[in-house]
Chain A
Amino acid sequence: MKHLDTWIERWQQGDERAAEAIYNAHRDPTFRLAYGLLANREDAEEVAQDALTYALVNIRRFDPSRAKFTTWLHTITVSRCRDKRRRKLLPSFSLTGLLQKGGDITDYEPLPESVTTTRETKSQVWEAVQRLKRPYREAVILRYWSGHTYREMAEILGCPVPTAQSRVRLAYTQLKTDLSEAVLENFNLDLIE
């Protein structure tokens, strides 16, 4: 995006109006990415604002010839989201062993409040995605919502490309199972009536 490159260059030289332009262009998308990962509006806002602040403050660390700005910004956002969830769910869980084949990839942590309190109105897909364990939820949001390539996802998540691919595939399989069970449940309820 030509404008963005110019804004970045100008902000790297200290023009605060360029910083504002960068902020405005990425405010909503960053918030939404955080919301997809955290399912809580206040947390998402805090994390997004934090990520945008960090990116703007450290803009000189960003090299436009070597990476896309959104990829960098999303890497920061995902990292902050992980921090946020970690702090809320002490003691933290181990990150090892999540990719063991045949392992359960759904999460038995309590669901974030926004999902449980408005259960009737939130879609089943949303609930099913939020039930996935962190690496799989991240993979789904980054692929199905943000539309990142696997290469970008690998950068953002800090994993190899094949890992990013397998997380998306496994998440899809789990969602498919979850969603077809939900459909079955509704079907039975209809019968009981």
Chain B
Amino acid sequence: MTHLTDTTLNGYIHHTLTDAERESIDVHLAECTSCRSRTQEAERLQRHIHQSLTAEIRAVQPSAKMTFTAVTPALHRRRWAGFQFNALQVLSTIGTMAVIAVIATLAFYIIQQRNEQPFGSSPLGQMRDSRVFFGQEWTDPTPYQSGLIRSEQAALDLLATAPIYHMDLTLSDDLRRVNGRQDLRFTNNSSSGLTDLYFHLLPNLVNHSLTIRGVNINGEAVNWELVENGRYLRIYLPYTTAPGEQFVVSMDFVLQLVGSNRGFNGTLGNIEDVLTLAHFHPMLVAMQNGQWDLTPTVHGLGNLTDNSFYQVRVNAPEPLTILSNGLEIRRALITEESITRQNITLAAGPVNQFFLTASNQFNTVISETVGETTINSYAEADYLRRDAQTALTITASALSVYNAEFGTY
């Protein structure tokens, strides 16, 4: 084996090489004096760094003010809902917000002097034009109309202020990976100024992997980080966002489903080639009284998000049956280099999440209509028809009861 390069040596002393690489280096070191002495020198430097840091850090003590007693008031004030701020943090936040508010107000006036902005102006710059993404304006109700019964069309008024997601998803051939791009039209519906945004990254909570890239607001890159072991995405807003203000948050994400992990009672994973996607993308956290609702989820996942609208374009293998709580509003087949894929667009809203499932095994379909809703029950094969029928009967009965008690679903 040839002598150690600097890179290899670096990897060796930091234990970032594979076992095989490490073993072969050990063999070489046993025979080569010069590499051995270089390695020892590097390890000496490592020890020096470690000892110096230790000496430096251990030399400092916290003051007598740092006590458990100082913490107890916060513990007593503790409620289920969200963050506890200590006085210092609140004061510094207010101070910073005051400065930012002044800058934002000035910027707002400057931008107002300019030409009419078709989508409204804000200190965060002109809102991204969604026509580039989906060929229509954010608040155009057309995609969602067929998903709502006639008496519920008034729900479309929510388009003015609800979160609206425009997503582009690509499903991998093995149905284990989703590459996504999402634009979210966000409105500050609280009565406070906001300095950050939080998104749920729920797949990370159940050992799948949801990674984020390229976060920007109205086209400008922003500071962001993952918090709580990847449970949340936290975005730092460049200016305090006033009540009523709107902007577009964009990001790319990759969801990799791990193993036969069933996450959330089988609603997120690939189980025997049936893909189920629930809470699979970065989802805006619900807001309660001007505060992000970051309470832990114990039973059920009901109050994670506020009611939202979704338009989702899915690029997927063909053939493949795709079912969703969104209504299919567009379908196309695209052939590239003799590979055909399907491209379908789904629209849903107002809903509190977007869900889809996909499989080549949804072969048998039986249906029943209750009120204005048609229920479809899918099964892999005819021998499962009875189970599908049972599921259908139960669902139909539940829906009848719902319609009788609460009004048409």
Contact = CB atoms under 8 A, between A and B. Distances in A.
A and B: bona fide binding partners: yes
Interface of A: 16, 19-20, 23-24, 27-28, 31-32, 35-36, 41, 44-46, 48-50, 52-54, 56-58, 60-61, 67, 71-72, 75-76, 79, 82, 86-87, 90, 92, 94-96, 122-126, 129, 140-141, 143-145, 150, 155, 158, 160, 165, 168-169, 172-173, 175-176, 179
A86 B16 CA distance: 31
Contact of B223 (A32, A79, A86, A140): A86
Nearest to A36: B57
B227 A75 contact: yes
21 contacts: A16-B75, A20-B68, A24-B68, A27-B66, A32-B57, A35-B60, A45-B65, A45-B66, A56-B75, A75-B229, A95-B225, A123-B56, A124-B52, A126-B52, A126-B56, A141-B53, A145-B50, A173-B6, A173-B10, A175-B45, A176-B45
Interface stretch (B81-89, B147-155, B350-358): B81-89
A76 B294 CA distance: 14
Nearest to A67: B229
Interface of A is mostly: helix
B5 interface: no
Interface in B43-99: 45-46, 48-50, 52-58, 60-63, 65-66, 68, 70-72, 74-75, 78, 83-84, 86, 88-89, 92, 96
B221 interface: yes
A86 B221 CA distance: 16
B225 A79 contact: yes
Given A28-B62, A45-B63, A158 B226 contact: yes
Interface residues of B, number: 50
A72 B57 contact: no
A125 B52 CA distance: 6
Contact of A57 (B10, B50, B68, B75): B75
Given A96-B221, A144-B50, A144-B53, A23 B86 contact: no
A72 B231 CA distance: 11
A172 B16 contact: no
Given A57-B74, A87-B92, A150-B16, 17 more contacts: A16-B72, A27-B62, A45-B65, A45-B66, A48-B66, A53-B75, A53-B86, A61-B296, A67-B229, A92-B236, A95-B225, A124-B52, A125-B49, A126-B52, A165-B14, A168-B14, A172-B10
Contacts of A94: 221, 223
A42 B10 CA distance: 35
A158 B227 contact: yes
